[in-house]
Chains A and B, each alone.
Chain A
Amino acid sequence: MIRDIIAMVLMFGGIAFLLIAAIGVFRLPDPFLRLHASTKAGTLGAGLLVAGVAVAFREENIGFTAAGIIIFLLATLPVAGHLLGRATYVSGADFVMKDGNDALKGKLKRAEASLEVRLAGRSPDPALPDPEKAKAADEKAKVNTGE
């Protein structure tokens, strides 16, 4: 009985944190704030949920797998969040600065515009021909063969 109560508290806590993290990813205004929601609340929520399931599941040896998942999540999710945040800053994504003071300015190289803006005006793969040029060449060839 006490075991069920502990499991339910852990599972409810995990679901609540995961749901809050998902709402944060959906509603916050820029990539860094979304990363802040998903990394911290997501790690805690998933860890609590897996711990709750391990307590509720009455079988031997499940604790090893559950502990493996929790330790792995605690070790890798912050690292992944750091990698993604650094890459987001370097790639030049737009973000909301409340006091207009970019603390990383001059410490990391940052592109002038965000990736999708830089990618907008050109063909997706440089090896492929520009679609408009290819169309013009096609029409030229048609005229040449027609006459």
Chain B
Amino acid sequence: MIPDLLATHLLIGLVLGLLLTGIRLVIGPGVADRFVALDMMTVLAIGITALTTLVTGRKEFLDIGLGLAVTGFIATAALAVFLERKEGDQ
């Protein structure tokens, strides 16, 4: 029972990490920095869904985490292809 009560407080740590990564996503000097930050945010979001499972007591939230993992991988792969193929010069 103790982990259930603790999960709400552990969420604060994850939201702090989400905040730091979000700042990097906004100020990141290059396109690559923003993509890396977006990748990291997906992983943090999976952690948040896992803790939400404990807080609410509904195991469906873990399935959402699985969906996020799939979506995040496809998004990162697509963005990497964009970064590799994009030709900026005339």
Seen from chain A, the residues whose Cβ lies within 8 Å of a Cβ on chain B are 4, 7-8, 11-12, 14-15, 18-19, 21-23, 25-26, 31, 34-35, 38, 42-43, 45-46, 49-50, 52-54, 56-57, 59, 61-62, 65-66, 68-69, 72-73, 76-77, 79-81, 83-84, 86-88, 90-91, 93-94, 111, 113-119, 122
Contacts and interface: CB of A to CB of B under 8 A. Distances in A.
B3 A91 contact: no
Contact of B69 (A8, A31, A72): A72
Q: In which size bucket is the chain B interface? A: 35 or more
21 contacts: A18-B14, A18-B47, A19-B14, A21-B17, A21-B40, A23-B17, A34-B37, A35-B36, A38-B40, A45-B43, A46-B47, A50-B50, A53-B7, A53-B51, A53-B53, A56-B3, A72-B69, A84-B35, A86-B84, A111-B88, A116-B29
A93 B29 CA distance: 10
Contacts of B89: 118
Contact of B3 (A23, A31, A52, A83): A52
B54 A53 contact: yes
Interface in B19-45: 20-21, 23-24, 29-33, 35-37, 39-40, 43-44
Contact of A11 (B3, B24, B43, B90): B3
Given A22-B17, A25-B24, A45-B47, 7 more contacts: A11-B10, A18-B47, A25-B21, A31-B33, A80-B76, A87-B80, A114-B31
A87 B47 contact: no
Interface of B: 1-4, 6-7, 10, 13-14, 16-18, 20-21, 23-24, 29-33, 35-37, 39-40, 43-44, 46-47, 50-51, 53-54, 59, 62-63, 65-66, 69-70, 72-73, 76-77, 79-84, 86-90
Contacts of A8: 2-3, 6
Contacts of A12: 10
Given A115-B31, A115-B86, A80 B39 contact: yes
A114 B89 CA distance: 11
B53 A57 contact: yes
B66 to A, nearest CB: 5
A87 to B, nearest CB: 4
